[in-house]
Amino acid sequence: MVPFQEEHKIFKKSVSSFVEKELRPHVEEWEAQGFTPRSIWKRCGELGFLGVTYSSDYGGANADHTYSYILNLELGKCGSPGVALGLSVQCDMATPALAKHGSEFLKKTYLVPAIAGDMICSIAVTEPGHGSDVAAIDTKAVKDGNDYVINGRKMFITNGTQADFLTVLVRTTPGTGYQGMSLIIVPTKTPGVSTGKRLKKTCFPSSDTAEIILDNVRVSKDHLIGQEGKGFIYQMEQFQFERLAAVALAIGGLKRGYDLTKKYIFERQAFGQFLYKHQVTRHKMAQMISEITLLETMSFKCIQMANAGVDFTKDVSMLKLITAQTQQRIMEECVQIHGGYGLMSEYEVARYFRDAKLLGIGGGSNEIMKEIICKMEGME
């Protein structure tokens, strides 16, 4: 179990109350309409949830990564993983590089309103022909006077149809592999930025996902994050916090799925006795909570490393890999125990089971996690 301090518990209670009162009652509506309303970002900004680890100079809370973990853990229990994902993108996926490497101009113009919930943002890395192969991206940014002119396409962009700005990974020096990439902030109202149709997914329906087309998009050079040519490095740093956040969302969902299933076995009878009286069911539950607790324990190791400023690439890659595999297996067991009810969309366990596949694909697939681990173990 993660050893939360008293101040962590107070924050956890605050987020849990928000989830219970302001998210969970509405998630079925948001799943049906295919997106989460903008008002939720604004509400999270008012509550101080969108920048807990960022500097108070820009509206953040100067908190450590334990708070970010708690936020995602509790959001993951809301009953619709897509709602939680959209908010997590804002906090842990589209803005870490901006907060760490961005200029004062960029932070005041984009980070401040993102933390306040006045702007929605997206991270735009994946391309139609290049999924987890980040080093192969084609989107180009060419200098023209005081501007960059950007051309390319980005695919599977979370918050894509609602975003006010994008953190875009581009190639600024052709033919140099990962060394020639940069991160650039692109406001979505810039001429040449267009959003394709909202993508219809088999999972995460409450999270809007889109293709973004960049056609001769002109932005000033002051929209470059940090140094030109360092974008790949910045994105790899950013990925570690994205993966830790994604794991926290998944563990939150696992804990919620376990709790709902535990409640069900104390209410449902079969063959003359409650389900928990059947040894096979009890043993499944014991296996579930044991694995969830182990995932939490490894998560806290990653949190401690993040708080200490230590590289945790290998550890979070192992954690994401095992969480992705465990999540699918446990949620399948939860559905099996629920029987036919577990296949009804109004039951939360059905949604968690439906959405469990994404963690093994998004933010770096299971195969990519294995390659990272092998490389760091000297097996190239």
Looking up residue 103, the CATH number of its domain turns out to be 1.10.540.10
Query: Which of 229, 262, 289 is the endpoint of a domain?
Result: 229
Query: Which of 73, 97, 116 is the endpoint of a domain?
Result: 116
What's the pTM?
0.94
Both 304 and 372 in one domain: the answer is yes
pLDDT tens figures, 175-215: 767 789 999 999 999 999 999 778 888 899 999 999 999 99
Both 252 and 360 in one domain: the answer is yes
Domain count of the fold of the chain: 3
Query: Which of 229, 254, 270 is the endpoint of a domain?
Result: 229
Q: If DSSP codes are grouped into helix, strand and coil, which group holds residue 71?
A: helix
50 burial (CB, 10 Å; 0-12 / 13-18 / 19+) is: buried
| Average pLDDT, integer, range 302-327 | 96
* pLDDT level of residue 378 (50, 70, 90 thresholds): very high
More reliable by pLDDT, 135 or 305 = 305
Both 203 and 269 in one domain: the answer is no
Q: Is residue 1 part of a domain?
A: no
Is position 242 annotated as part of the catalytic site? yes
pLDDT tens figures, 36-78: 999 999 999 999 999 999 999 999 999 999 999 999 999 999 9
* pLDDT level of residue 1 (50, 70, 90 thresholds): low
Rounded CA-CA distance 375/34 in Å is 39
- Contact criterion met (CB below 8 Å) for 332 and 349: no
Q: If DSSP codes are grouped into helix, strand and coil, which group holds residue 193?
A: strand
The catalytically annotated residue of 31, 242, 333, 348 is: 242
Both 366 and 286 in one domain: the answer is yes
Q: Dihedrals φ, ψ of 327, to 5°?
A: -60, -45
pLDDT tens figures, 280-307: 999 999 999 999 999 999 999 999 999 9
- Contact criterion met (CB below 8 Å) for 217 and 152: no
pLDDT of residue 269: 87
Mean pLDDT of the chain: 94
Q: Is residue 284 part of a domain?
A: yes
Both 237 and 371 in one domain: the answer is yes
Expressed as residue numbers, the domain containing 205 is 121-229
CATH assignment of the domain containing 173: 2.40.110.10
Answer positive or negative: Cα dihedral of 286, 287, 293, 294. positive
Tell me which residue of 337, 353, 334, 336 sits closest to 345, measured CA to CA. 353
